[in-house]
Amino acid sequence: MSQHLLYDIKLTVQGKIRRLTDKSLFVDISGSVDGVVYPLHYADMQLKHPERRFKAGGIVRCRILIVEPARSRVVLTLKKSLIDSEMSIPATLDDLKTGTLTPGVVAKILDKGLVVELFGGMKAFVPQSEASAQFTLDLKDIFFVGKSVNVRITELRPEEDKVTASIRQALPAAIAAEKLNVGDIVSGLVSQVHSEQVVVTLMPAQLTSLLHLSTLANHRQKGIDELRKELKIGEKLEGLVVVSKNPTSGLLVVSTKRSNQAPSTGISKSAVSFDSITPGEMVTGKVIKHASNGTQIELPNGLTGRVHPCDATDDLSLIASGDGPLNIGEDVRCLVLKVNPHTRIIDLSTRLSRVDPEEAGEVVDREISSIQDLKEGQQVRGLVKNVQNGLFVALGRSVVARIKIRELFDEVSPSFSSVDKSIC
């Protein structure tokens, strides 16, 4: 009896109840194949009196969980949520891939996470931070052993036979956010108004997004304080455009739509190859890696771009504090600054003043492209690049300044060490 054959042709089966014991329910399926159902899989809810529900000779609809060829037996589930699930059903560890959505059952509740039983007898660990969209100190407050859940596979370590997953990233809101692209036009309702941002619930997907008050104020040609007082909870905002999204957290950032808004693809039609990319073009990409020389952005058609830390934001203090705008896996809009045909490096900028100058507002740290942008006596901020006989500070992607040790302190200088990307 082939395990894969059973998974291919007998995902959902009907069987006749043979007998019920204290530890399991035995079901006759067909021919020489026996089926067994363990108490965890009797129903979606815990049954106090399973004997009242399962009588010998009764017909039950099941789904195969595990195939045991050596014993000519299959382990079944009677949970309707699993039987009716239309998600992918991987049979073995080799069938699992990062990003796969699949159903499972909470098998164990730990202090720092959950153990979820998947089809095929596999188990996945869900960290506490990925168990729910809402933070909870005790997972037992929202989960119970036997609860059906959907998970998204986030990490695979086949050599260690370990699978890590997320329930939060498999929630309907997270799945809906995944379908939205940077540049898509959306609308929503004001749900919260804060000092600098508006929380907008996008409709009809019920997704949470952030809109800067300054952006909306500029669009409506009003002061921020005036706008904050006028905005009402439940007020509908239309013509918003998605400017970035983080698939890990599901958080979207939106802006107001302009008449010359870029197309929803986020990349010009001519930008289909390296040779066709030109400075000044708007492109959309995904953040894939942080490196010492900048952040790598995966562009369409296998192209790769780079955002220097000084080109990432109009406020360098965000990078120094670790709250920079570029998170791994996030989709971002970028402006092409430079294309080097020799190194095949595409320099990009995600500064709002570059990507959407009409909505940028105040630029805290202006862009420095060359030494000609500097004047003697001018005060500027930069990011610490290296500490060696003084401080080497990046003021721009091609401008580095050196601060001599004697210029660092008014008194005798204490010892210091390198602090990468600290602002000074």
- 106-119 pLDDT tens trace: 999 998 899 999 99
Amino acid at 289: K
Query: Mean pLDDT across the stretch 224-240?
Result: 90
Element (H, E) at 320: helix 317-320
Residue 421 pLDDT greater than 60, yes or no = no
Q: How confident is the model at residue 262 (pLDDT cuts 50, 70, 90)?
A: very low
Out of 31-35, 177-181, 284-288, which region has the weakest mean confidence (pLDDT)?
31-35
Residues in the chain, how many? 424
Q: Which residue has tokens 């504090």?
A: 321
pLDDT for the residue numbered 105 = 95
CA distances, 145 to each of 75, 141, 153 (Å): 18, 12, 20
pLDDT top residue among 41 and 248: 41
What six digits make up the tokens of 167? 């329930």
CA atoms within 13 A on the CB side of 308: 21
Q: Is 240 helix (H, G, I), strand (E, B) or coil?
A: strand
pLDDT above 90 coverage of the chain, percent: 26
Out of 1-10, 161-170, 194-203, 249-258, which region has the weakest mean confidence (pLDDT)?
1-10
Residue 128 pLDDT greater than 50, yes or no = yes
Residue 418 pLDDT greater than 60, yes or no = no
- Contact yes or no for 277/348 (Cβ under 8 A): no
Residue 397 pLDDT greater than 60, yes or no = yes
Q: DSSP letter at 423? A: B
Amino acid at 167: I
Q: Torsions phi, psi of 126, nearest 5?
A: -110, 110
Q: Give the end-to-end CA distance of the chain in Å, rounded to a whole number.
A: 69
pLDDT for the residue numbered 189 = 94
Residue 7 pLDDT greater than 50, yes or no = no
Amino acid at 211: L
Query: Mean pLDDT across the stretch 319-348?
Result: 81
Q: How confident is the model at residue 32 (pLDDT cuts 50, 70, 90)?
A: low
CA distances, 275 to each of 3, 279, 328 (Å): 50, 11, 27
Query: Mean pLDDT across the stretch 159-187?
Result: 85
Residue-range domains of the chain with CATH:
3-83 (2.40.50.140), 93-170 (2.40.50.140), 182-256 (2.40.50.140), 274-359 (2.40.50.140)
pLDDT for the residue numbered 387 = 77
pLDDT for the residue numbered 333 = 86
Residue 205 pLDDT greater than 80, yes or no = no
Residue 8 pLDDT greater than 70, yes or no = no
50-75 per-position pLDDT tens digit: 999 999 999 999 898 988 877 778 89
- Contact yes or no for 283/266 (Cβ under 8 A): yes
Out of 88-97, 291-300, 366-375, 398-407, which region has the weakest mean confidence (pLDDT)?
398-407
What six digits make up the tokens of 376? 């003697």
Query: Mean pLDDT across the stretch 163-175?
Result: 88
Residue 411 pLDDT greater than 90, yes or no = no
Q: Torsions phi, psi of 287, nearest 5?
A: -70, 125
pLDDT for the residue numbered 4 = 45
Query: Mean pLDDT across the stretch 236-256?
Result: 79
